[in-house]
Amino acid sequence: MICPNCKNPVSPDDTFCAHCGQKIEAGQKPGSVNGTENTQNTQADGGQPEHKTKKSGAAKVLAVLLCTAVIVAASVFGAMYYLKAKDSSPDGAGTTEHRNTAVSETRTGAATGISEPEYNDDEKYIVSSAKSFLESLMNKDLITTLELMGVSADDPGDPVKAYSFIKTVDVTGYEFVESRPREGIFLVRLDISKSGSDLFHAGSALWNLVVSDLDYNIMLFKPAYKEINFFYRDDSSPPPSDAAYFCMNFSIYLNFFETADDFNKIVPDDGDTEAFSSFCHSVVDALNLEHEIKCADFEQAVEKSLGITGIDSKKCKYYYENEDVLSFGGHGGCWLDCSLSSEKFNPLTKHHTVEIDYYSDTAHILKAKTVRYEVKENDDGSSRLLSTKLLYDSGLNVSGGQV
């Protein structure tokens, strides 16, 4: 017989087709399909009828159940293997490496709600100062901006008027591209729609933002493409040369912000004991000499560094005759954080030309003065200041601090 559904041979005794499960009607003839005689030859091998192994409907159902059980077991085993691999990975995602991803924060006029990493208290203050400064720029809050740059509205030179150009800068947004609050260093993308100042160009650009960990003032705010060589309290910035430090120290302690080329003239009259003593004290600080020094060593150091001759250090009120020394005792020192330097050096003549821009704010936005120094290296490697020249003076005070 032929199954009317799948066309495979079935036994006359079968009630269901062993191949497809089709019910076999009792009235169908052998060799017929749906009651029609089949003319195809169903014999093979000497005319004997070909027989298939008989399968009952119960056997078929059992086979289906066994296949289903195998599939379910394989699925359960696969799921257990995946979960075990996931739990054994460092980040719980089946990977073999854990990666920390930095989250950048964007400000476009409203708080973003992006969660911040865990910071300690000092880092929180530093991040807060950086954000407050950028927000004050966006809001054109001049007074807050000045305060965060270490400038008082009451300082000489009318800083509110001098910095009024900040109100012509339209900052529409910012993004912290890189944040290193432990070091107080940030890389910020600043979006400026328009600007009335050459110090702030319109467009989108990267800026370096540095915050002090001492007073949380903004210590630097400059476009990232500009090479920066500034005096700083730690090793996070490229250090200026020894010659640059040498020049700045004399400007701090002896007020060399004005032109000077005959340093003998800067020595107070011997008759003015207070002024002369203050000068000697300042030279010791500027040259970082021992606070108790032999008079002969002091006079030699002054001549070598400044070319000043004929000083009689015994007229200083800090002179102690029994030891023949000048003794100034312990004291602090001055430092100007708001300075940028550049330098040219001629190795043949050992001549340095140093220019230092002194700023009226710690963010290094508005220059107060620019001074050029000519320095000659002595044979022993020490420096001698030949002249100073004031190149620029805004009338604003040079910002600085004590350490």
Q: Are 209 and 364 in contact (CB under 8 A)?
A: no
The fold of 105-223 is: Nuclear Transport Factor 2; Chain: A, (3.10.450)
pLDDT, tens digit (0-9, with 9 covering 90-100), for 327-371:
987 655 666 666 778 888 899 999 999 998 888 998 989 999 999
How far is the C-alpha of 198 from the C-alpha of 357, rounded, in Å? 17
pTM for the whole structure: 0.65
Q: What per-residue confidence (pLDDT) applies to 385?
A: 96
Contacts of 11 (CB under 8 A, 6+ apart): 1, 51, 52, 54
Look at the alpha carbons of 71, 73, 75, 78 in this order and tell me if their dihedral is positive or negative: negative
Residues 6+ apart with CB under 8 A from 337: 212, 219, 231, 232, 233, 362, 399, 400, 401
Q: Which residues of 255-292 are buried (b: 16+ CB within 10 A; e: fewer)?
A: ebbeebeebeeebeeeeeeeebbbbbbbbbbbbebeee
Q: Which of 149-153, 169-173, 342-346, 356-360 has the largest mean confidence?
A: 169-173
260 has pLDDT over 80: yes
For residue 76, which phi and psi values (nearest 5 degrees)? Answer: -65, -40
Query: What average pLDDT does the segment 11-18 reach?
Result: 68
- Reported as a single tens digit per residue, the pLDDT across 363-395 is 989 999 999 999 999 888 889 999 999 999 998
pLDDT exceeds 60 at position 26: no
CB 364 within 8 A of CB 149: no
Of the candidate ranges 20-29, 151-160, 379-388, the one whose mean pLDDT is the lowest? 20-29
pLDDT tens, 186-227?
A: 999 999 999 999 999 999 999 999 998 878 889 889 898 766
Give backbone dihedrals phi and psi of 380, rounded to 5 degrees, phi first: -90, 5
The residues, any chain, with a CB within 8 Å of residue 394's CB and separated by 6 or more, are 157, 162, 360, 366, 367, 368, 369
The domain spans of the chain are 105-223, 233-403
